[in-house]
Amino acid sequence: MKGQFLLNTVAFSSATLISRILGYLRDATVAYVFGANPLTDAFFVAWRLPNTLRQLIGEGSFNAAFIPIYTQEEKKSPESAKEYASSLFTYYTLVLSVITFFVVLFADVFVKILAPGFIEKGNFEETV
């Protein structure tokens, strides 16, 4: 049991490290190819919101809440666990679809919140 925990910890930590390295390489590549200009500023601001959602869903409280309940349901009945996961992911998809709709519809408001200085710099339209 202790060995499995250590193995899981090493695997998860390694995957996280690889993810961080790839993220750095992505940012470095964008900076190298496009340089520091209003277009790259717009890209990074536009990237911030979906990246934040990914962090919340993929790395945040969702996993911490989902996995223990799913494991408990699976011990009772694999079919029950499957139904739980299916209903939860359906709900999550609906909620994220609504959020996405409103973010696209009100993109200008979100850009004003995330990058208030972009209107003066002329980067606003590219970001929206």
Kindly list the averaged pLDDT for each block of 10 residues, start to end, along the chain of length 128.
77 89 90 83 79 74 81 89 90 87 83 70 60
User: Helix, strand or coil for residue 16?
Assistant: helix
Domain borders along the chain are 1-35, 36-127
Reported residue count of the chain is 128
Assess contact for 111 and 127: CB atoms under 8 A: yes
State the pTM of this model.
Answer: 0.57
